[in-house]
Structure 1
Amino acid sequence: MSDISFIILTYNESVHLKRLLSKIAGLQAPIFVVDSGSTDDTVAIAESYGAIVKTNAFENHPKQWDFALKNCPISTPWIVGLDADQYPSVELFNKLKSFSDKDVPADVSGIYFNRHNYFQGERLKYGGYRNFYMLKMFRYGKGWSDLNENMDHRFVIEGKTIIWKDEILIEDNLKEHDIDFWLHKQIRYSNLTAQEEYQRKKGLRGQTLQPNLFGNPDQRKAVFKKIWWNMPLFVRPMIYFFYRFVIRLGFLETTSGRTFHYLQGFWFRFLVDAKIHELEKKDKKK
């Protein structure tokens, strides 16, 4: 019996779910799928692989993960939380297959995976995306969803963390080969991000993680997020894009990669700032 259970969030993920489940089936680990009301074959695919399916209306990723962690009957000491468009490399599969709770120090409660991100079928290698560490595995009862976030979900854990650098988690969203799909998704995300940042400015939303430049990957990221929130609107997207595209060599990507860095590193950030500005204007009129 595996020491790991998987939790996977889904919504109309038939194009991805079979790929993921087929790659983790050999681990013989319990699988839980938390679905947001799919109208395609997502639930049928999940059940065909023996997954236990829970359904919950989607509000945002942090709240969906909070529901998942509170409602999935986990019986293993460790949890791996994945999105349907992610799947393990052979090296990560083998690491998980040989994983045993007794081999992990008792004070370690979380494990970061090294995510390699693909956009329109091509791996992003520059602009800060070559190696991107995400806390995806943690001890049951020692991790929870950070509800101070409105868009970016992250797990927060009690205890120390370690990083698996050579065992890769691949993220390749096949739907994003259609640029219109990606753009519409980012517009939805921009609403959530703008609301979150506006609430932070108003003091209505806190920051769970303590920023620490010498801490784990999320604590280091929290340092730069705090700087970002205090930078002037409309100026910061230009600075960030220059950093990603020039300093972090994003211009060396393929055409798809350069498109990603422009759209995600500049256009999306500028759109968020425009929506924050709009919220501030509405607030002044009250």
Structure 2
Amino acid sequence: MEPLILIANPGSASRKYALYQGTTSRADIHFEFEDGKIICGIETADEHFSLTTDLADLTAASSQVVTLLRDKQVLSDDETIESIGLRFVAPGSYFAQDHIVDDEFEAKLQATLPRAPLHISATLAELKELRRQFADTTIVGVSDSAFHRTKPDYALNYGLPLEDTDAFEIKRYGYHGLSIMSVVQILTAADKLPSKVIIAHLGSGASVSAILDGKSVDNSMGYSPLEGLIMSTRSGTIDATVASVLRNVLNLDDSGLETYLNKKSGLLGLGGSDDIRELLTREKDGDKRAKLALDTYAYSVQKSIAQ
């Protein structure tokens, strides 16, 4: 019998899980907020279930996964999850590779929290909950930037003093590596991978990657997932002076500025909604603000591809 593996993908606005037996998918589980409540969707090869949970926040989602799988008879009472893969997003050379999750890994992630609090906090909360729920299970932290380690130095560095960026590991690490790698693997398996290809990951977070002979040579994200394209609630790349001006005129501290750029900008800031479906509907009804948001978003994708 092939081992049962649980994959955990913690996001700031959702939690996604997948149950595999070896390389065969048995179920996908998705938690997200909808109308102020956390909705869970479970999809198997044969059925799709959707239910409203009593969870107050997403941190506790992992505590529901096994129970839900057993209730829906996806996982039998005598089956045990043997290992867990946890996707993580964090800057730094240490986090540009996979690691067994242990006390050292958790401590390093905790120490990096001040550098990218909004992106690391969800991962850290998920990690702690998984270690509590599955204390005797091996957990592997899977790096979302490892695929981009093949980027050349000129795509990795900022135009900042090298002694500083080297000392503090401020580099354009890039993200969505797992997603991009999976596309490359699928194209390779189908013998359809060209020497040069652009791959766009367009979701709540969005990025564009340049692939040469199956290896990453650039990704539009940088030190954190904030850089690059306009996204659902993220500003994408802006002039650093703009951030300084916003800090002053809006009287923001570091945390406030981070929240402003990551949670209140992008499609939400431009169009008043982070749901592209709503914006498309409003655009059809003649809403100029929705059109502006969609046009600006599309332009940022086109511009990144052209670069």
Please give the TM-score of this superposition, normalised by the length of structure 1: 0.29
Return the index of the structure with the highest Cα Rg: 2
Which of structures 1 and 2 has the larger relative contact order (alpha carbons within 8 angstroms, sep 6+)?
Answer: 1
